[in-house]
A and B are shown apart, each in its own frame.
Chain A
Amino acid sequence: MMFRVPTAAFRVLRALWRINVAEELQYRANFVASLLGTLFWIVTALLTLAVFFRHTTRLGDWDYWEVVVLLGVFNTLTGVIEAVLRPGIGRLAGEVKSGGLDLVLAKPVDAQGFVSFRRLDVWRFTDVVLGLTLAGYALYRLGRVPSFVQLAAFALALAAAVVVVYALWVALMSLAFWFVSVENLSVLFDALYEGARYPVSAYPGVLRFVFVYLIPIAWTTTIPASALTGRLEPGFALVAAAVAGVVFALTRLLWRSALKRYSGASG
Chain B
Amino acid sequence: MCFRRAPTASLRLNSPPHMPTIVTAERLSKTFRVKVRDPGLKGALAALLRPRYRDVHAVRDVTFRIEPGEIVAFLGPNGAGKTTTLKMLTGLLYPTTGRVEVAGFVPWTGGRDFKRRIALVLGNRQQLVWDLPPEETFLLNRAIYDIAEPAYRERLVELVDLLELRDVLDKPVRQLSLGERMKCELAAALLHHPPLLFLDEPTLGLDVTAQEAIRRFLSQYRERHGATVLLTSHYMQDVTALASRVLIINRGRLLYDGALDALVTRMARIKRIELVLGPGDGVTAEALATFGTVKSFHFPNAVLEVRREEAAATSARLLAALPVADLSIEDPPIEDVIRQAFAHGVGQDDA
Where the two chains meet, the residues of A that have a C-beta atom closer than 8 Å to any C-beta of B are: 4, 8, 11-12, 14-16, 18-19, 22-23, 26, 98-100, 102-103, 105-109, 263-265, 267
Contacts and interface: CB of A to CB of B under 8 A. Distances in A.
Given A4-B1, A23-B132, A106 B143 contact: no
A43 B111 CA distance: 50
Contacts of B94: 263-265
A105 B92 contact: yes
Contacts of A105: 91-92
14 contacts: A12-B143, A15-B142, A15-B144, A19-B129, A23-B131, A102-B122, A103-B120, A103-B122, A106-B115, A108-B144, A109-B144, A263-B92, A265-B94, A265-B108
B125 A102 contact: yes
A128 B248 CA distance: 57
Contacts of A98: 125
Given A102-B87, A105-B91, 14 more contacts: A12-B143, A15-B139, A19-B132, A23-B132, A103-B127, A106-B115, A108-B111, A108-B112, A108-B116, A263-B91, A263-B93, A263-B108, A264-B96, A267-B33
Nearest to B125: A100
B58 to A, nearest CB: 10
A11 B143 contact: yes
A168 B91 CA distance: 28
A108 to B, nearest CB: 4
A264 B129 contact: no
Contacts of A103: 120, 122, 125, 127
A263 B146 CA distance: 26
B118 A22 contact: no
B140 interface: yes
A15 B32 contact: no
B142 A264 contact: no
A26 B133 CA distance: 12
B210 to A, nearest CB: 21
Interface string B132-165: 1000110110111110000000000000000000
A92 to B, nearest CB: 15
Contacts of A106: 90-92, 115, 118, 120
B30 A264 contact: yes
Contact of B143 (A15, A263, A267): A15
A23 B140 CA distance: 14
B2 interface: yes
Interface of B: 1-2, 30, 32-33, 87, 90-94, 96, 108, 111-113, 115-116, 118, 120, 122, 125, 127, 129, 131-132, 136-137, 139-140, 142-146
A22 B125 contact: no
A99 B139 CA distance: 24
B93 A15 contact: no
A4 B140 CA distance: 18
A256 B262 CA distance: 46
B174 to A, nearest CB: 11
A14 B146 CA distance: 13
Nearest to A99: B125
Contact of A19 (B32, B108, B136): B136
Contacts of A23: 129, 131-132
Nearest to B130: A23
Nearest to B185: A103
A26 B131 contact: yes
A102 B108 contact: no
B96 to A, nearest CB: 8
A8 B90 contact: no
A11 B136 contact: no
Contact of B32 (A26, A102, A264): A264
Contacts of A14: 143
Contacts of B33: 267
The 8 closest A-B pairs by CB, nearest first: A15-B143, A108-B112, A108-B115, A106-B120, A265-B94, A15-B140, A11-B143, A103-B127
B131 A102 contact: no
A103 B113 CA distance: 16
B144 A12 contact: yes
Contacts of A267: 33
Contacts of B108: 263, 265
Contacts of A100: 125
Nearest to A110: B112
A264 B127 contact: no
A105 B131 CA distance: 23
A108 B111 CA distance: 7
A264 B59 CA distance: 14
Nearest to A105: B92
A213 B108 CA distance: 36
Contacts of B32: 264
A200 B244 CA distance: 68
Contacts of A12: 140, 143-144
